[in-house]
A and B are shown apart, each in its own frame.
Chain A
């Protein structure tokens, strides 16, 4: 079946339907990672977006039971050059196409995603739509009449509905586990996590280090989060424009000085905002598994997994918060560290999934800031 991808500037790409037939709409972004499509599909930070993968051969290793980063497929649409019809990997349970069909995700294949990427690089990310049943003109009209990315509070859409607890020492957690399964090991630490769109691997990484993680919805109050006297606070990644999340920034501001805090991705931006900074939108964002980040203290460089469309303004940070990590490609802020308080955050993903796990040490570093 034919499918069309159109962008708000009027350009369009013809291809074939991938996943469910129908229509989808979102901000069109590209990711340069060569593996990890299952993690990308289920990463809540991609809510409201249609992801194009620059690597042309997608779906080779199928979809498995373990590599979910959340319960749902979070992307609005999926754009690839070629999708493997028959996957091959020992863990594969399903083909990409079958999986997207089952989850009702409208995608497109046969698109020259390099051409698309070049256009996004030059013109910046744009709103776009995929359709299997509309004319180009109709799709463009639909784009024009739909809300822009950033005008919607996406965190509210992806956050947990109710607070839940992820026990220590638990690798994979099904719905049943969350409610019933007793903790595998005695927790060494208890962490309150503010969920604006958390990836399972953040919780998993903490759990592996002996943390019991209580996950709060993004509109939880500081009081709720501190009620059980946790050892530390984790601020999760998430989708959307951080500037629209003033209520979360307020929450964060109140948590400062109360407990050790670690922020990841959106969490980094929220902390920055709480310390006087503001965010701006990057032309085409950072999405991929190969971004070099320099640790300004040690001079060492790490290859990081990234997924963000906004960046912090380093100049307006105050109250002891400093830029600690920068991106080697464009010099943007990649992390903050407080001069005195046990507070730090990074713009990239120590939990990887997908991408390199070079930065996994941050979780240990966080644990080390917690009271013994």
Chain B
């Protein structure tokens, strides 16, 4: 169906101030939405109280209101501007809550404003735990045992079930505010009390805590024609129990077989269809590491932080397409903005690995409790792209600007063995360095797994990095000697003669007496491939970073740049979006 001609004036609600759980992603989403709507000839009226955003620029919308995001001011904007549509699914939980309040107060009806995209009933069904559970039961989609509690006295059945640990999640809050994991009755009572106080609806859900299960997310889209697609799936490095916003996240999933991937994809699409969502939606699932069992954990019936990540990870502009869908367009009527050749109705194929790393505020809040759990604490995040998990992971770490450039962190190195085990068992912002330190001290994958339940595939990758780190340290002298002696023979010979050199650079010949320099060069190449920073290698060699950089470049070890194109190179892409990698072909 072409775009709905009745949609002429649309009010867009922004997400307000940046707070933990609601950061810049909604400026990105909102700005995209405004642009997408105006491309369709829509007159856009924007309300957002946050002046630091691109979306509140006067050129982003036809009318920009920097006014408080509450019912009173929103109603006055509606009364003054008389929009025929309201787009609320791009302004985070703030936007959605305000739209809900406007609808409940009868204001939308009074001014004849249509809620575009996902219907209000779907939003309620997805957000109200009880309605959601009922729907899941109807669909035959498994949800963990849980109890809705609106009063402290309601928790007896949960206690009686004797399922421990239990997780407490308040309804209608941002970033899981006020939730927590209870190991016993006392903790359950405490967390429930706090959660009830913080929930907009004075409602919390107590649920079986799926300890050690994999947490997997699907970003899905649906249009009014019931065409539904998956934009991206993502796997959390941290198993269930850590808020997704505080988890290291990998896209696409790494440890799921096709059967598992498709099983969860099918479930996600079934849910988005049943909810009748029009636009983007995020489905969070828990997958057993020992069977095909899974549970549906949560659905966000709107564009979310994960959608921003998925958009950047794949090149698929979820917010933009969601806005177009809201105007009545179908997925197969919207151009793929990256390839400009294909349509938005496809599923992106990635040919790289994406790692998201949270950015926590503990450098500022030194006294804060650094434990990470179901309550989000990160203020922001970084994303890194590379051809291997290791290199994307290493890039993500150095993107955080926390004074750590690789696998070592001073404070975790000072821990005793027992403290180290504790630092792996109870997640905090430094857990990955506790893990690398554990491997450095000779702990085995199985031991770390038993403490953390982090999938062995990820642990194996970290262990491999630590192994390479050891070899780099051992060869530090060889590298520094190469720089200091200015061994021109090797340094100058290689670039002019690279191909021949590469040919000799193999294991058999090294055993037959190749110089230590050759081994060191091979090691440098390997180190760069898996993402070690120049700074780290230089440190091991005891030389300044710039000197090592010069050596590396003279050895012809330089990154190539590849394109993010949504389609794994199957089609030519028009949008220049690049990441570096130490691979063979450069695309720019």
Q: What is the interface of chain A, defined by CB distance below 8 A to chain B?
A: 2, 13-14, 30, 32-36, 38-39, 54-57, 60-61, 64, 66-67, 81-82, 84-91, 112-115, 117-118, 121, 284, 288-292, 294, 299-303, 328-329, 352-358
Q: A13-B584, A300-B225, A303-B229 are in contact. Are A57 and B389 (CB under 8 A)?
A: yes
* A-contacting 9-mer, from B48-56, B59-67, B344-352: B344-352
> Cα distance A49–B102 when bound, in Å?
60
Are B457 and A56 within 8 A (Cβ)?
no
User: Beyond A56-B388, A61-B256: 5 further Cβ-contacts under 8 Å?
Assistant: A32-B567, A56-B351, A60-B254, A121-B570, A301-B225
> Cα distance A82–B484 when bound, in Å?
35
Q: A34-B349, A118-B585, A328-B346 are in contact. Are A88 and B460 (CB under 8 A)?
A: yes
Chain A residues with CB under 8 A of B387 = 56, 81-82, 114
Jot down 29 A-B pairs with beta carbons below 8 A, ordered by A. A30-B570, A34-B261, A35-B257, A36-B257, A36-B258, A38-B258, A54-B569, A56-B352, A57-B389, A60-B254, A61-B255, A67-B257, A88-B457, A89-B256, A112-B584, A114-B562, A114-B569, A114-B585, A115-B583, A115-B584, A290-B348, A300-B226, A301-B332, A328-B342, A329-B343, A353-B258, A356-B347, A358-B266, A358-B269
Chain B residues with CB under 8 A of A113 = 351
Q: Which of B257, B262, B265, B349 contacts A55 (CB under 8 A)?
A: B349
Residue of A nearest to B389 (CB): A57
Residue of A nearest to B499 (CB): A14
Are B585 and A329 within 8 A (Cβ)?
no
Are B227 and A67 within 8 A (Cβ)?
no
> Cα distance A2–B342 when bound, in Å?
39
Within 8 A of A (CB), among B323-355: 330-332, 342-343, 345-353
B252 in contact (CB, < 8 A): yes
Sorted nearest first, the 7 A-B pairs with minimum C-beta distance are: A115-B585, A36-B258, A88-B457, A54-B568, A290-B347, A354-B258, A32-B349
> Among B253, B331, B345, B587, which residue has the most Cβ atoms of chain A within 10 A?
B345
- Least Cβ distance of A77 to chain B in Å? 19
Residue of A nearest to B347 (CB): A290
Are A356 and B584 within 8 A (Cβ)?
no
Are A84 and B291 within 8 A (Cβ)?
no
Q: Which of A38, A54, A290 contacts B346 (CB under 8 A)?
A: A290
Contact with A along B345-371 (1 / 0, CB 8 A): 111111111000000000000000000
Q: A115-B583, A117-B568 are in contact. Are A303 and B346 (CB under 8 A)?
A: yes
Residue of B nearest to A120 (CB): B569
Chain B interface residue count: which class?
35 or more
- Least Cβ distance of B504 to chain A in Å? 11
Q: A67-B257, A294-B332, A328-B342 are in contact. Are A87 and B457 (CB under 8 A)?
A: yes
Are B346 and A292 within 8 A (Cβ)?
yes
- Least Cβ distance of A229 to chain B in Å? 36
> Cα distance A132–B575 when bound, in Å?
39
Are A329 and B346 within 8 A (Cβ)?
yes
Are B351 and A328 within 8 A (Cβ)?
no
> Cα distance A118–B226 when bound, in Å?
34
B588 in contact (CB, < 8 A): no
B510 in contact (CB, < 8 A): no
> Cα distance A67–B258 when bound, in Å?
9
- Least Cβ distance of B231 to chain A in Å? 11
B455 in contact (CB, < 8 A): yes
Are B290 and A90 within 8 A (Cβ)?
yes
Q: Interface of chain B, helix or strand or loop or mixed?
A: loop
B259 in contact (CB, < 8 A): yes
B577 in contact (CB, < 8 A): no
Chain A residues with CB under 8 A of B345 = 292, 301, 328
Q: A64-B257, A290-B347 are in contact. Are A356 and B252 (CB under 8 A)?
A: no
Are B351 and A288 within 8 A (Cβ)?
no
Chain B residues with CB under 8 A of A85 = 460
Q: A32-B570, A289-B347 are in contact. Are A88 and B258 (CB under 8 A)?
A: no
> Cα distance A118–B583 when bound, in Å?
14
Q: A115-B584, A352-B262 are in contact. Are A328 and B332 (CB under 8 A)?
A: yes
Chain B residues with CB under 8 A of A121 = 569-572
Chain B residues with CB under 8 A of A356 = 230, 262, 265-266, 347
Are B346 and A35 within 8 A (Cβ)?
no
- Least Cβ distance of B577 to chain A in Å? 14
> Cα distance A114–B402 when bound, in Å?
33
Residue of A nearest to B505 (CB): A2
> Among B262, B348, B585, which residue has the most Cβ atoms of chain A within 10 A?
B262
Are B349 and A88 within 8 A (Cβ)?
no
- Least Cβ distance of B145 to chain A in Å? 23
Contact with A along B542-574 (1 / 0, CB 8 A): 000000000000000000001000011111100
Are B351 and A54 within 8 A (Cβ)?
yes
> Among A55, A85, A353, which residue has the most Cβ atoms of chain B within 10 A?
A55
Residue of B nearest to A86 (CB): B460
Are B570 and A288 within 8 A (Cβ)?
yes
Are A329 and B342 within 8 A (Cβ)?
yes
Are A357 and B346 within 8 A (Cβ)?
no
B289 in contact (CB, < 8 A): yes
Residue of A nearest to B259 (CB): A67
- Least Cβ distance of B128 to chain A in Å? 29
Chain A residues with CB under 8 A of B291 = 90
> Among B332, B351, B583, which residue has the most Cβ atoms of chain A within 10 A?
B351
Are B258 and A57 within 8 A (Cβ)?
no
Residue of B nearest to A56 (CB): B387
Are A34 and B343 within 8 A (Cβ)?
no
Are B353 and A57 within 8 A (Cβ)?
yes
Contact with A along B492-505 (1 / 0, CB 8 A): 00000000001000
Are B351 and A357 within 8 A (Cβ)?
no
> Cα distance A289–B269 when bound, in Å?
15
Chain A residues with CB under 8 A of B562 = 114
> Cα distance A34–B256 when bound, in Å?
10
Chain A residues with CB under 8 A of B568 = 32, 54-55, 114, 117, 288
> Cα distance A291–B229 when bound, in Å?
11
Chain A residues with CB under 8 A of B460 = 84-86, 88
Chain B residues with CB under 8 A of A290 = 346-349
B506 in contact (CB, < 8 A): yes
Are B569 and A89 within 8 A (Cβ)?
no
Residue of A nearest to B583 (CB): A112
> Cα distance A34–B255 when bound, in Å?
11
Contact with A along B417-456 (1 / 0, CB 8 A): 0000000000000000000000000000000000000011
> Cα distance A61–B567 when bound, in Å?
23
> Cα distance A88–B456 when bound, in Å?
6
Are B506 and A114 within 8 A (Cβ)?
no
Q: Which of A33, A34, A299, A358 contacts B225 (CB under 8 A)?
A: A299
Chain A residues with CB under 8 A of B583 = 112, 114-115
> Cα distance A112–B562 when bound, in Å?
11
Residue of A nearest to B563 (CB): A114
Are B229 and A2 within 8 A (Cβ)?
no
Chain A residues with CB under 8 A of B266 = 356-358
> Cα distance A196–B227 when bound, in Å?
32
Chain A residues with CB under 8 A of B351 = 32, 54-56, 113-114, 117
Are A33 and B349 within 8 A (Cβ)?
yes
> Cα distance A54–B351 when bound, in Å?
5
Within 8 A of A (CB), among B201-260: 225-227, 229-230, 252-259
- Least Cβ distance of B364 to chain A in Å? 36
Residue of B nearest to A39 (CB): B258
> Cα distance A298–B403 when bound, in Å?
57
Are A355 and B227 within 8 A (Cβ)?
no
Chain B residues with CB under 8 A of A84 = 457, 460
Chain B residues with CB under 8 A of A36 = 257-258
Q: A56-B351, A328-B343 are in contact. Are A35 and B261 (CB under 8 A)?
A: yes
Are A355 and B262 within 8 A (Cβ)?
yes
Are B502 and A303 within 8 A (Cβ)?
no
> Cα distance A302–B252 when bound, in Å?
21
> Cα distance A318–B289 when bound, in Å?
53
Residue of B nearest to A117 (CB): B569
- Least Cβ distance of B530 to chain A in Å? 10
